[in-house]
Amino acid sequence: MNILIPILFLVSFCVHAQNTEKIIARLGNVAFFSYTSVENIKAQNNQVLSIIDLSNGEIAVNILMNAFVFEKALMREHFNESYIESDIYPKATFEGTISDFDSSQSEPHTRIVKGTFTMHGVTKTLDIKTKIEKIDGKYILTGTFEAVVKDYDIKIPPLLAGNIAKTISVDFRFEYDPYDS
């Protein structure tokens, strides 16, 4: 009988850890900026999905590419059809872990989120400095990272090479609610 007890304990722990500790952001905000001397491009997506498993600090993000709103309506069509090719690669995803994550900490603090970012079919490892806040019991994650256009195999016609920055900076802000599956 004494082998049954640790097994049951393990089982109940597994079941417990899975359901209760996830938080989700359904209206997450991701904006990107491209500044060149010819043209400034900015775009925003406020339907980004993100989920965190508070028990181990794992985080996932799902960005729907055609939900980006651009300053110019036509840019959005070009972005989806000719650059990011959202019919083949409809979304960008991030999967990673918040290092040294401690769910008991309520003061705003900064952590490095390590993980892999996949966009346009290309996967890159990223370390993103992220500010973690807890306001009224809600987790809020904000931060910035940079993406090099060339890394993601995005083709820019030579005629427009001057209009699009080599490095795009990306801002994000996620506000989480408890997730019940």
Partner 1 sequence: MTVKGAFCIGMLVLTGSFGFSQNLLEILDEEQDKVPQFTEATFKTTRITFGHSIETRKKGVLELFVSNRFWNTPEERTQSFLSDRMSTRIALEYGFTDRFSMGFGGTTWDGLFDGYAKYKLVQQGLEGKGSPVSITLFQNATYFSEGIANDAIADDFGNRMSYASQLLIARKFSRKFSLQVTPTFIHRGLEFSEEDPQNHFAVGIGGRYKIGNHMSFVSEYYAVANPIESFNTYSPFAVGVNWEIGDLMMQFQLTNALGMAEPAFIAQTRNNFNFRNPNLNFGFNVAYIMHFKRKLKGLKQEKKP
95 binds partner 1 (CB under 8 A): yes
CA distances from 163 to 39, 131, 147, 156 (A): 5, 31, 16, 10
Which of 44-52, 99-107, 119-127, 133-141 is the region at the interface with partner 1 (rule: CB under 8 A)? Answer: 44-52
Q: Which is nearer to partner 1, 37 or 88 (CB)?
A: 88
Beta-carbon contacts of 31 under 8 Å, excluding residues fewer than 6 positions away, are 42, 43, 44, 45, 170, 171, 172
Beta bridge partners of 118: 93, 123
Q: In angstroms, what is the minimal distance from the CB of 127 to partner 1? A: 13
What is the contact surface with partner 1 in residues (CB under 8 A)? Answer: 1, 3-4, 7-8, 10-11, 14-15, 18, 22, 24, 26, 31, 33, 42-44, 47, 49-51, 53, 58-62, 64, 66, 69-74, 76-78, 80-83, 85-88, 91, 93, 95, 110, 129, 131, 142-144, 155, 157, 159-160, 163, 169, 171, 179, 181
